[in-house]
Chains A and B, each alone.
Chain A
Amino acid sequence: NAGVMQNPRHLVRRRGQEARLRCSPMKGHSHVYWYRQLPEEGLKFMVYLQKENIIDESGMPKERFSAEFPKEGPSILRIQQVVRGDSAAYFCASSPWNRATGTGELFFGEGSRLTVL
């Protein structure tokens, strides 16, 4: 049973380019979360998605960032016109969680490290 798969593991972009990070949740999981981790800091929530729906995007910057989780295929976090401040590790997590039966645990991928030159 494969875990949460993220790719690429490492991505280098120049300022102004676009970055696309992909996440395939664990089999059977329909909830996907994206978190950002800056150096020496904890994980900051960005967005929570279910298939074809954004449930909570309260942590997403208003501009340049978008996320989707289509009916088929992985979830994608897209950063347009990247700036140096976007350099960070981006973690995806998935969960089968529903409030009635779940445990609340998130299963994390290994992260995608974005470096903006």
Chain B
Amino acid sequence: AQTVTQSQPEMSVQEAETVTLSCTYDTSESDYYLFWYKQPPSRQMILVIRQEAYKQQNATENRFSVNFQKAAKSFSLKISDSQLGDAAMYFCALGGSEKLVFGKGTKLTVNP
């Protein structure tokens, strides 16, 4: 079975600072994808960043980057220069042969 664990129920960061959200996972598959989704108060699920497991290079999307440690099965999200609009629930997700499996989420608060 595939599992995703987010050990930080809540995190906070000052505006313009950097924050890292943790995620660990477990899978027996060798070919898989990892994702971070953002869910603002509107509840819309928005893809933030994606990582293919076969790629060693960490994915980057503007202020968002990941630290993918395949051997450790770790997939953390770093948000640089945090903005008020980054406040949301963040979900780590693992995609293998079929469905996506989600972690329980981390609620990020951005303080002005």
Residues of A near any B CB (own CB < 8 A): 33, 35, 41-45, 48, 55-56, 89, 91, 93, 99, 103-106, 108, 110-111, 113
Q: Kindly state whether residue B28 has any CB partner on chain A within 8 Å.
A: no
Contact between A110 and B43, CB atoms less than 8 A apart: yes
Q: List 14 A-B contacts (CB under 8 A).
A: A35-B102, A45-B100, A48-B99, A56-B98, A56-B99, A91-B45, A99-B31, A103-B52, A104-B32, A104-B50, A104-B95, A108-B37, A108-B44, A108-B45
Contact between A42 and B91, CB atoms less than 8 A apart: yes
Total A-B Cβ pairs within 8 A: 54
Contact between A104 and B33, CB atoms less than 8 A apart: yes
- Distance, CA A16 to CA B43, complexed state (A): 27
Contacts of B100 in A (CB 8 A): 33, 45, 93, 104, 106
Expressed in whole angstroms, the minimum distance between the Cβ of A1 and any Cβ of chain B is 16
**Which residue of the partner chain B has the closest CB to A41?**
B104
Interface of A is mostly: strand
- Distance, CA A108 to CA B37, complexed state (A): 10
Contact between B101 and A45, CB atoms less than 8 A apart: yes
Interface centre among A33, A42, A55 (most CB of B within 10 A): A42
Q: Which of B63-98 contact A (CB under 8 A)?
A: 91, 95, 97-98
